[in-house]
Amino acid sequence: MGERLILDAEPLGGRLLQLTVASPGGGLEALNVEAAARAYLLPINTDASTLARGVEAEGVEAWVEDWLSPPRYDRLVEVVVVEGGWRGVGRVASALEARGVARRVNRYPGPLVEVLWRLGLRPGCLLGRVCGPLDDYGVLSLAVVEAYSWHGPISSPLEKPGRFRVVCGGWEEAVGGVDGALDVLRGCRPHVVVARSPVRLILEGSSRFREYLWFEPDRNLVGPRGLIVWMRISWLPYTMAHGAPIGRVLTAAEAREAYRRRYLLDERAPRHERFRSLRSLVESDMPGAARLPEPGVYWGVVQLDYSSLYPRLIAMYNISAETVDTPCGNTLDPAPGYGGHRVCMDRRGLVPEVLGRLVDLREEARRRGAGEEQEAIKWILVSGFGYLGFRNSLFGSIAAYETVTAAARRALAAAEEAAVEMGYRVIHSLVDSVFIQPVEPRGPPGEVAREIERRTGVPVKIEAEYKWLYIPPTLRGHGAVNKYYGALESGGVKLKGIAAVRRDTPEIVREAQASAIARLAEARHPGEWPGAVERAWKVVDGYMRLLREGEPPVEKLVIEKRVDPGSSRNTPWRRAWLKSPVQTPTVKYVVAGGGRPHPVWLGPPGSIDRQYYMKLLERAAGELPKPVPQHHT
């Protein structure tokens, strides 16, 4: 019993909860557990004890608890807790809300997860064992199924795959049809099958075989191991965590901390801002830290990166909705002179407590070399700052958001000042990165990193050392803020934000730009740069001739886009997506003659819109240096 991995959970009738667990020998197993549901009710114009007595007459249990009320969690309120069968609790709570004598609170992340908290049934952990987010996954087994058509991986269940590739149990098998793929899965009995959405729909539509859970990479930011980490951090069961936005995972983790502290989760609680002058509003309402760089090529550049800058600032300065602009005996301004707010330091804020633990957890994952797990934690940390300013965030506030941006601007300013004082020129700074170039250096870049860390308290590392770094121009003439690429001193190139690394770039354009940059990387010093630029443009010209006059491989013209079902924009990819009777998270299409989006599941198009692809290539070529001498040294 103890070696079974908890994956999923769902309520049954009465007071039963069904767990889906992974068994050591392969396959999934269902276990039933006694588990009562709870609802939390805030009385309206009535006494909590009186309401609780009336509720008990409905055949469920009820009692009164004291909880701390938002936004500052400094005032106790009485809450009626109702416990019983899953349907009975919901029926009673809905009836009381309809009568206007109470309203439900503590609704997030829902009764199911709250039950898991109370019973200590942590998804992603072994049944009956205490585990941490980075512990070994034990019995979990995976299989990967891929299906291919004329253009590559299929994008619609309407396509007829030419072949399947199944990886399971340490071996790989190529099969020609659906039945063959299902036979392989039956043989290896995985707990989770990794397959893109259209592959899942094809396999499900061909069989009643339901002995595993699905993991769809096109619906998730992380891989299967990363999803297990998310489940352990958030306590969300598999079906709630799979495909979930990062904010849901973060908010669930914050909600658990709120329950531990008896912080009431009330979606209707007001979050008032203090009165501020117009000047104060202008100073505070500024974006995060970034500068507009000058475009061009720079030699001998070093990139310094803060480690989890925004989450560390939140944790370091105790920035949370209930601590910012809250009167108390010990307050701090994290960013004097940057339009910030004062933060109460008398008690630990909820958001910094959660993010601080995640920062430490990411460092532990880095030390262990757990790449996928580290990436999963990074995504949650990335959302931690954004959700502070999100309108519907349970634990955010504009004042807290502004405090973080002010502290970040101050931190990057301190980094730039330290670099200049040590004889370096600042080329660019972006969010948590600073690009510096030696002028009259008074120490190696590592010493600059240590000085920045001393001044800011945030760890800084050398992220990359470039032979040369190129910042493309924008249409307005200044350098792109979030696009750059360069040849690394250690070999190879690093690409950021340009066409060659964007998912929606067709392969022929990606290949052309990457090949051109490879020619640029042949330049080892400024004297070789003009020749490298000329060779890069020859590469582009060759691909342009192929698109204009030749027969480009049609599979390299396929464009893949993620589609927002709620959007009404009349884009080519949305028109292609709407043509399919079965919609999946992404759509793949070719722009056919006349500019028509041609979904790949219809087969290869009869013609292509050459001008369309030539324009895409021209746009990508605009991210390359022009064939003229550059002036930066």
- Domains (ranges, CATH) in the chain? 36-119 (3.30.1370), 142-226 (no CATH), 278-485 (3.90.1600.10), 554-608 (no CATH)
Sequence letter at residue 236: L
Q: Quote the pLDDT of residue 498.
A: 97
Which residues of the chain are under the pLDDT cut of 50? Answer: 1, 208-209, 275-288, 630
Q: Quote the pLDDT of residue 613.
A: 97
Distance CA 9, CA 118 (A): 14
Q: What is the 3-class SS of 116-183, one letter each residue?
A: HHHHCCCCCCECCCCCCCCCCCCCCCEEEEEEEECCEECCCCCCCCCEEEEEECCEEEEECCHHHHHH
Q: Quote the pLDDT of residue 573.
A: 76
Backbone angles phi, psi at 3, to 5 degrees: -95, 20
Distance CA 209, CA 220 (A): 23
CA 197 and chain centroid, separation: 19
Q: Quote the pLDDT of residue 270.
A: 65
Distance CA 378, CA 515 (A): 31
Closest CA to 308 of 380, 367, 248: 380
Distance CA 486, CA 489 (A): 10
Q: Quote the pLDDT of residue 295.
A: 95
- DSSP assignment of 452-516 equals HHHHHSS-EEEEEEEEEEEE-B-TTSSBPSS-EEEEETTSSEEEESSGGG-TTS-HHHHHHHHHH
Residue-wise over 433-464: b if at least 16 C-beta within 10 A, else e? bbbbbbeebeeebeebbebbbeebebbbeebb
Look up tokens 């021209």; give the residue: 618
